[in-house]
């Protein structure tokens, strides 16, 4: 049996598009042939350094051609690429490096200070290779085994001859942080990454005209490459043999310059980055028409999508988790629509929902006995999935792994509804949903309804225990007392119930005026804190 291995992604681009470019900022242009030669040198360098199959090698870099080389060379050698989340605290970085068992770190000079501070805590790291971008290194107490370019240049092997091995060999590991507990390691095998590449690749290429990625696009990620393999898209882009542009450290001017000068047509990122680029483009009069962006990480606001579409940007939403490789769904429209049609309310809502399952994904919404709910657009349940590329569990964490896969499906802990055309709308997080008389009531949808009420400045809805109903909603309100009336709030609830946007159980909502609503460090409503404070006082 012929194993599925990441090296196979190179067969066709090397044969069919070997002169195609891979660009790093405004600094460097390499051909696919050259990048593959560097990957070969990387393999030879690992062999020369005595690395064994299964060893873990960590990477800390901005989005670069070097990171792309790591995406391939480390797993193709049979080692495991650990992508370090450089946004974590130094203590978390130390924890994840130690927990992964990484023995080497490939380190961009920008991250020297972070590592210097935690050097003594790193129990297993034997070697650091520094990546310098041509600039002189800062003075540091760290000892470097080599500098990346000279480490590669010492090898003249342009075709290292990466061996075949079992497709279930681990290829990557990275850490995901929940609201509680230590970061958890998520890992993927060659087989899983290959199947995600093919299925997500087919989903992205298949539409007739819009919301798609194709062979003549120019690709630039706007997602950090440490974040779930930049959604797996660098693997797809390489397989398609398209021109790739890596922007290094994100700076609006550089991103805009690259989009304009390199004719970037396909990207993906969080809503914040899209907003930043739209704003920068407007103030510097850069034409973004023809640029396509998949938005994920958090919900794509309709106002932002509308602004993007009006500027000629073909934006659409996607959904997935660190544990799902990550792509599960994409919000592609059914029919070739003109830009005008896409600004219609229903099309806009569709482009901003989570989207439809991609090939091979068995996506269900289930109640707490795992019974599937109707795909009627209203019935909601926890989103659970099966697909041949989902992570098998968390690294050295049997309990969390078992919970993840309870009942044979991976539990997303998101609540959603699916319509008859397969479009998934996320309505809440499982932990924030309110269970009234056995039915799941979305706290987010109640909040959305209440923000429409005059005089309500801020609102958070949580579930509180109730003898009769199990739970009932409690709305915490920051109000302008001169304008707010509770009866207006009740009126709004009733009209939202009538139009079907919220459950009739919303009528059980109690109101409580508060001075402030607790937030997390990133500015989200801290429902855990709110429940602790208010759940006992209905």
CB 12, min distance to a copy of itself, A: 5
CB 512, min distance to a copy of itself, A: 41
| Closest to 471 in 3D by CA, of 432, 520, 498, 529 | 432
CB 100, min distance to a copy of itself, A: 22
176 is catalytic: yes
CB 360, min distance to a copy of itself, A: 5
Q: Which is nearer to a copy of itself, 17 or 288 (CB)?
A: 17
Q: Which residues of 306-333 are buried (b: 16+ CB within 10 A; e: fewer)?
A: bbbbebebbbbbbbbbebbbbbbbbbbb
SS3 417: strand
Return d(Cα 309, Cα 293) in angstroms, integer.
11
SS3 480: coil
Return d(Cα 315, Cα 295) in angstroms, integer.
7
Return d(Cα 316, Cα 271) in angstroms, integer.
11
| Closest to 436 in 3D by CA, of 476, 467, 477, 475 | 467
From the list 440, 445, 447, 471, the catalytic residue is 440
Sheet holding 424-429, edge to edge: 362-366, 380-386, 410-418, 424-429
From the list 69, 167, 262, 323, the catalytic residue is 323
Return d(Cα 23, Cα 45) in angstroms, integer.
23
Q: Which is nearer to a copy of itself, 112 or 418 (CB)?
A: 418
From the list 176, 469, 504, 533, the catalytic residue is 176
Q: Are 190 and 309 in contact (CB under 8 A)?
A: no
CB 210, min distance to a copy of itself, A: 11
Q: Which is nearer to a copy of itself, 8 or 448 (CB)?
A: 8
Tokens of 364: 């269900």
CB 398, min distance to a copy of itself, A: 17
Return d(Cα 150, Cα 281) in angstroms, integer.
38
Tokens of 216: 């003549």
Q: Which residues of 376-400 are buried (b: 16+ CB within 10 A; e: fewer)?
A: eeeebbbbbbebebbbebbbebeee
Q: Are 418 and 389 in contact (CB under 8 A)?
A: no
Q: Which is nearer to a copy of itself, 83 or 211 (CB)?
A: 211
Q: Are 433 and 440 in contact (CB under 8 A)?
A: yes
Q: Which is nearer to a copy of itself, 96 or 373 (CB)?
A: 373
Q: Which is nearer to a copy of itself, 208 or 344 (CB)?
A: 208
Give CA separation, 297 vs 73, 269, 301, 445, in Å: 27, 7, 12, 19
Q: Which residues bind a copy of itself (CB under 8 A)?
A: 1-4, 8-9, 11-12, 15-18, 168, 191, 195, 198-199, 201-202, 205-208, 214-217, 239-240, 335-336, 356-363, 375, 386-390, 392, 418, 420-422
3-state secondary structure 57-126: EEEECCECHHHHHHHHHHHHHCCEEEECCCCCCHHHHHHHHHHHCCCEEEEEHHHHHHHHHHHHHCCCCC
SS3 490: helix
| Closest to 333 in 3D by CA, of 204, 210, 205 | 210
CB 207, min distance to a copy of itself, A: 5
Q: Which is nearer to a copy of itself, 190 or 227 (CB)?
A: 190
435 is catalytic: yes
From the list 127, 257, 435, 528, the catalytic residue is 435
The C-alpha angle 330, 332, 333, rounded to 5 degrees, equals 150
* Max Cα distance, the chain (Å): 78
Return d(Cα 487, Cα 323) in angstroms, integer.
44
E-assigned strand segments in 431-502 = 434-436, 439-441, 456-466, 470-479
CB 206, min distance to a copy of itself, A: 5
Q: Which is nearer to a copy of itself, 4 or 142 (CB)?
A: 4
Q: Which is nearer to a copy of itself, 15 or 482 (CB)?
A: 15
Q: Which is nearer to a copy of itself, 158 or 392 (CB)?
A: 392
CB 4, min distance to a copy of itself, A: 6
Return d(Cα 47, Cα 363) in angstroms, integer.
42
CB 137, min distance to a copy of itself, A: 40
Q: State the catalytic residues.
A: 176, 323, 435, 440
């Amino acid at each position: 049996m012929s194993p599925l291995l990441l090296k196979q992604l190179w067969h066709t681009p090397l044969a069919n598009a070997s002169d195609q470019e891979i660009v790093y900022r405004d600094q460097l242009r390499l051909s696919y042939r050259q990048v593959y030669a560097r990957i070969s040198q990387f393999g030879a360098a690992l062999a020369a350094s005595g690395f064994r199959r299964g060893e873990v090698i960590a990477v800390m870099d901005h989005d670069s051609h070097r990171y792309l080389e790591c995406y391939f060379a480390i797993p193709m050698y049979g080692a495991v690429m650990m992508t370090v989340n450089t946004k974590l605290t130094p203590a978390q970085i130390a924890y994840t490096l130690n927990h992964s068992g990484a023995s080497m770190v490939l380190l961009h000079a920008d991250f020297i200070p972070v590592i210097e501070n935690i050097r003594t805590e790193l129990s297993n790291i034997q070697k650091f290779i520094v990546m310098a971008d041509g600039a002189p290194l800062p003075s540091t107490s760290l000892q470097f085994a080599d500098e990346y370019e000279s480490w590669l240049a010492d090898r003249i092997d342009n075709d290292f001859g990466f061996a075949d091995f079992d497709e279930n060999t681990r290829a990557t590991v990275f850490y995901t942080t929940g609201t509680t507990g230590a970061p958890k390691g998520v890992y993927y095998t060659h087989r899983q990454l290959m199947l995600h590449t093919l299925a997500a690749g087919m989903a992205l290429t298949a539409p007739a005209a819009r919301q798609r990625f194709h062979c003549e696009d120019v690709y630039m990620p706007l997602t950090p490459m440490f974040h779930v393999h930049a959604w797996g898209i660098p693997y797809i882009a390489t397989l398609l043999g398209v021109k790739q542009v890596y922007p290094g450290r994100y700076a609006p001017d550089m991103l805009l310059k690259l989009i304009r000068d390199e004719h970037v047509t396909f990207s993906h990122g969080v809503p914040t980055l899209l907003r930043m680029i739209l704003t920068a483009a407007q103030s510097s009069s850069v034409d973004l028409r023809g640029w396509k962006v998949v938005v994920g990480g958090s919900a794509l606001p309709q106002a932002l999508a509308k602004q993007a579409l009006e500027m000629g940007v073909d934006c659409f939403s996607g959904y997935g988790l660190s544990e799902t490789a990550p792509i599960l769904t994409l919000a592609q429209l059914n029919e070739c629509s003109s830009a005008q049609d896409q600004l219609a309310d229903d099309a806009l809502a569709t482009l901003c929902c989570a989207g439809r399952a991609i090939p091979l994904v068995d996506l269900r919404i289930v109640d707490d006995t795992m019974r599937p709910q109707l795909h009627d657009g209203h019935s909601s349940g926890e989103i659970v999935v099966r697909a041949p590329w989902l992570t098998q569990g968390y690294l050295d964490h049997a309990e969390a792994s078992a919970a993840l896969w309870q009942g044979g499906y991976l539990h997303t802990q998101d609540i959603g509804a699916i319509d008859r055309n397969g479009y998934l709308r996320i309505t809440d997080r499982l932990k924030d949903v309110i269970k009234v008389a056995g039915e799941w009531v979305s706290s987010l949808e109640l909040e959305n309804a209440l923000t429409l009420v005059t005089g309500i400045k801020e609102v958070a809805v949580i579930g509180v225990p109730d003898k009769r109903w199990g739970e009932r909603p409690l709305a915490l309100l920051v109000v302008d007392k001169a304008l707010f009336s509770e009866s207006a709030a009740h009126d709004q609830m009733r009209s939202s119930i009538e139009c079907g946007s919220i459950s009739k159980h919303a009528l059980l909502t109690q109101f409580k005026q508060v001075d402030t609503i607790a937030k997390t460090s990133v500015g989200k409503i801290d429902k855990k804190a709110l429940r602790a404070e208010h759940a006992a006082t209905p």
